[in-house]
Structure 1
Amino acid sequence: MECKILILDLDGVLITTPPWKQDEMDSDNYSRFNSKCVQNLNQLLQQYPFEIWLSSTRRTVKTLEEFNTIFAHRNIVQTIQGFVPEYPNCKSRKEEIEQFIKENNIENFLILDDDKSLHSLNSNFKNHLVLTELTLGFNKEKLGESLEILND
């Protein structure tokens, strides 16, 4: 089975704290992940071989090693391969993701994100997008959407 790229956001996907509340901290002093969203992510990762690339703005304040420790602490079954680069010419997450996909000639990918700017992705990319809701995250419905995209 061919390896796929998972472009993963954290806030609104695994972290579902409403914007008006301060994040709850886990025992490692990093934001608590929604355990149901983590279970759904693990279910997805167990069915498909992914390389995870973090697109979250949080990628700018921790190292890859730190994030992999955070993921391991939360029992996420897959490590993060890398970060979607911060491109100086990109003004939005949408532009960063498009440039990353084009620059690396990525054909098999899934985007998990809650960023509404992704509604305007190029249609070839938008067909690979699962847009979550900030306080619901990667719930069973979004897992189902992901599996539909991957099974097409």
Structure 2
Amino acid sequence: MPKITLILDLDGVLITTPMWKADEIDTDGYSKFNKDCINNLNILLSMAEFEIWLSSTRRTVKKLEEFNLIFKNRNIKSSIKGFLPTYDNCKNRKDEVLKFIKETKVSDFLIIDDDKSLNGLELMYKQKLILTSYLKGFDKSKLEEAFSKVR
């Protein structure tokens, strides 16, 4: 069975620190992730085979190996396959995600992100979007929503 491409953001999905506060730092020197959101992500990852592609703007400041170590330190049950490329002509996350989907020709995918520009996706793509709230992240209700889109 082919893997589902999971296009995953961090801020507002796994990192839920309010914007007006500095990130809490974990023992490995990187921002703390919300434990409930990690648990919900692990539940989702146990449902099917996923290939994680990081869409977070944080992808531009660390290497893939560093992010995979961060995921391992936070007990996330799957590693990151890669980063969405940084495209020069993309104005927002919606443009980046669309270009990635079209370039890679993925058909089975799920997007988990809090970026409101994704509301502008065409319906065929928006049906695969789990739009989180910045302070709640990937909570139980978003996990349930993801279940309905993966089944």
TM range (shorter): over 0.9
Q: Which runs of 4+ in 1 moved over 2 A?
A: none
Matches within 5 A, 1:41-60: 41-60=41-60
Partners of 1:2 and 1:55 lie apart in 2 by 21
Partners of 1:16 and 1:10 lie apart in 2 by 9
| Larger mean Cα displacement after TM superposition, 32-41 or 84-93 | 84-93
Residue in structure 1 matched with residue 83 of structure 2 by the alignment: 83
- Unaligned ranges ≥5, structure 2: none
Residue in structure 2 matched with residue 36 of structure 1 by the alignment: 36
Residue in structure 2 matched with residue 5 of structure 1 by the alignment: 5
- Unaligned ranges ≥5, structure 1: none
Report how far residue 122 of structure 1 moved: 1.6
Report how far residue 57 of structure 1 moved: 0.1
Matches within 5 A, 1:1-150: 1-150=1-150
Partners of 1:134 and 1:43 lie apart in 2 by 20
> TM-score, normalised on structure 2?
0.99
Partners of 1:42 and 1:58 lie apart in 2 by 21
Letter in 1 for 2:147: L
SS of 2:133's partner is coil
SS of 1:11's partner is coil
Partners of 2:91 and 2:133 lie apart in 1 by 22
Partners of 1:10 and 1:48 lie apart in 2 by 20
Partners of 1:48 and 1:141 lie apart in 2 by 19
Partners of 1:145 and 1:83 lie apart in 2 by 24
Letter in 2 for 1:94: K
Matched pairs, number: 151
Partners of 1:113 and 1:48 lie apart in 2 by 19
SS of 1:28's partner is coil
Report how far residue 146 of structure 1 moved: 0.3
Letter in 2 for 1:56: S
SS of 2:87's partner is coil
SS of 1:5's partner is strand
Partners of 2:41 and 2:7 lie apart in 1 by 12
